[in-house]
Amino acid sequence: MNKSIFACLVLYFLLSLNNVLATEKPDIRIKVAEYENSFEFIMPDGGTWEYGNEKGKIENNKKYIISGKLLRESIKKYHIIVGSTKINEPAQFSELANKYAFLSPYKIEIGEKPVNGFPENRLIYLAVKNFDSEEDAIKYQDVLAESNISSWIYYEAIQKPLASIKLTYKGKTLAEGQKSFFLKPTKQTILNKVEYAKGFSWHGFENRAYNGILEVKYGYSDNIECIETTDMETILAGVVPSEILPSSPDAALQAQAVAARGEILSKKGVKHFGCGYDTCSEQHCQVYKGITKILSKMSVAIKPTKGLVMENDDGTILDAVYGANCGGHSAANDKIWVSNYNPHLQGVDDLVAKGIIKDLTKEENVKDYIENPPDCWCGRKAEGASKYRWTKTITKDEWKIIEDTANIGNIRSVEIIEREVSGRIISMRLIGSEGQKTILKELPIRKLLGAGAVLKSSCFIAEFNKDKDGFINGATLKGAGWGHGVGMCQTGAQSRAKAGQNFKQILEHYFPNSKFVKLY
C-alpha cells in the first residue's frame, strides 16, 4: 500500500471514530482573563507548564509571573453587517442580499465546521462596507441608522499581534518567546486580579480558580489572554451560580443550566470566530467566575439536565438566551438584535395569574405598565424588586456626557420612535442644535443614556428637565426590567421554581413550543 493511500485510510478511520464520539461532552474553550502586561498565578497543588517543546514543574503554592511585551498590534478589519442567515439557507440569503442590493453587499462565511456530530452553527453574514478602524466603522453605522438600517460590526482577524511573552519564577526566566504557554494544574490554577464587568457599575478585580488547561498568549485584544479548555458540564457548574442566585431551588439552577448549554453550543465556533476561543466569561457571552466553593454542589444540582438543550424547528440548537429581569414581559429577539426572527423568542408575559398585558408597542400603554406594575413572577419582592421597577435620575453632569457622546450640540428633544413587544425602546431620535441622531436597538440606547455606565433596560418613560433656552439638562427615567429581556427571565425563573414549577415547565414558558433534546 502506498503511503498516501495509507494516510487516507488512517484519516478515514479517525473521522469515523469522531462520529462514534458524537455522544461525548464537548470541550469548550473559554477566554477567562485578559491582562495588559503581566499577571501572577499560583497552583495550590502544583502542576506543569509547557512552552513549545520546553516544559517544567510548577511548585505547590508558589507565585509565578507571566509578562509580555507587545511589539506590533494585531490587524483587524471592521465589517458592517446588516444581516445573516444559516449557511445552508441560500434562498433566504438571496432575499437578504436583494433587500440590501443598493448598498453593494458582499458575503462573509463565519464559523468553524461542527465537530463530533454537533449541529451546524455556521452563518453567512451580509456585509456592506469595511474599515481599518473601529471608529470609522461606528461612524458609518450612524449613517445607516439615519436611514433606519440596523447593523453590527464584525471584526475580521487579519494578522495576530507580534509579542514576546515570558514565564518567571523568583526573578528567573523559565521560558520566553512568541509562542503560547500552556498551564496544566494538578487541581487548579489561581489567576490573580482577574478583571470583570468592564464598563458596568459593578466592575472590579478578583482572584479566580480554574481546573482546566490554560493557554496564555497575546490575542486580538492586543493583551495577554488566558483561555481555559474544559468540558461543557464543568463550565456550566461555574456559569450557573455566576448567572443565578446559587441558593435558588434546583429547578431554577437546572433551567439556567439548560439555557446556558444551549446558548454556548448554538454559538460555538461562531460568536468569537477567528479569536481562538468559543466563548468569553463576561456579559458578552455568559458570566463564568471559574471554580468556586460550591462547584460540587452545583454539579449535583444540574446533573439531571446533562446534555439537554432545546431545539429550533429545523433541529438546530435553540440559542436559549436569558436576562436578569424581563420587567413583566419578555422581548422579541429580532427587534432587540439584528438577528433573524425566531418563533421561540418572540416574548411572553410573566404574569402570575392568567391575564393580559396591554400592547406595549403602543406608547399610550407604557406609562401605566411601568407605574402600576402587574403581578408578575419577576416582580415578587424577595427576588428582584429593584430590577422589576427602577428610577434613574440623570444629573446635569451626566447629561453633558450624553451630549458629548451624541455629538449633535445641545439636545432639544428626545423622540421615542419604536418600542417592541416588551416595551423596550428600539428606536429613538435626538434633536440637537447641530443636527439629529437616530439610535437603533436597545443596547446602544442603554449605553448612551447610561452616561458612562449601562442603563438597566430600554423599557422606560422619561421626564426631561430643560434650561431657560429650552435645551435638556437632565432627566428622570422610570423603567422596568434589567437586561435585553429576550428568552428566560432569570428572576422569574427563580420565583417560579420557589412556587414548585420544575425546570421543564419554566423553560417551556419562556421558550414556547421548543422541544427538548439530549445531545449526550
* Contacting positions for Zn ion (CB under 5 A): 280, 284-285, 326, 350, 378, 489, 492
State which residue, 350 or 403, has the beta carbon closest to Zn ion. 350
DSSP 320-338: --EESB-TTB-B-HHHHSS
Rounded to a whole number of angstroms, the minimum distance from the CB of residue 198 to Zn ion is 12
| Comparison of 285 and 301: residue with beta carbon closer to Zn ion | 285
Characterise 297 by phi-psi region: left (phi > 0), alpha (psi -120 to 50), beta (else): alpha
Buried/exposed code over 110-142 (b: 16+ C-beta within 10 A; e: otherwise): bbeeeebebbebbbbbbbbbbbeeeeebeebbb
Minimum gap (Å) between residue 45 Cβ and Zn ion: 30
Q: Smallest distance from the beta carbon of 446 to Zn ion, in angstroms?
A: 18
Smallest gap from residue 271 Cβ to Zn ion (A): 6
Q: Of the two residues 233 and 350, which places its CB atom closer to Zn ion in the complex? A: 350
Which of 226, 159, 178 minimizes the C-alpha distance to 52? 178
The amino acid at 447: K
As a whole number of angstroms, the distance between CA 202 and CA 371 comes to 27
- What is the rounded distance in angstroms from the CA atom of residue 107 to the CA atom of residue 474? 43
Q: Which three cell numbers stand for residue 191?
A: 489567576
Which residue lies nearer to Zn ion by CB, 124 or 285? 285
CA distance 301 to 255: 11
CB of 282 vs Zn ion, minimal distance in Å: 6
Q: By C-alpha distance, which of 347, 348, 337 is closest to 284?
A: 337
CB of 58 to Zn ion, least distance (A): 29
CB closer to Zn ion out of 66 and 285:
285
**319 vs 350, which CB is nearer to Zn ion?**
350
**CA neighbours within 13 Å on the CB side: how many for 433?**
9
Task: Give whichever of 212 and 492 is closer to Zn ion, judged by the CB atom.
Answer: 492
Shortest reach from residue 273's CB to Zn ion, in Å: 11
Q: How far is the CB of 280 from Zn ion (least distance, A)?
A: 3
Cell numbers at residue 243, please? 448567572
Residue 118 CB, nearest approach to Zn ion (Å): 19
The sheet with strand 435-440 has its strands ordered as: 411-419, 425-432, 435-440
Cβ closer to Zn ion: 285 or 440?
A: 285
* Cα distance between residue 315 and residue 325, in whole Å: 28
Residues 6+ apart with CB under 8 A from 2: none
The secondary structure of residue 332, as a DSSP letter, is -
Choice between 42 and 285, CB closer to Zn ion: 285
Q: Which is nearer to Zn ion, 39 or 273 (CB)?
A: 273
Q: How far apart are CA 323 and CA 243, in angstroms?
A: 9
- CA 476 – CA 466 distance, rounded (Å): 12
Question: What single-letter DSSP state applies at residue 113?
Answer: P
To Zn ion, the closest distance from the beta carbon of 115 in angstroms equals 20
- HSE (side-chain half, CA atoms, 13 Å) at 115: 14
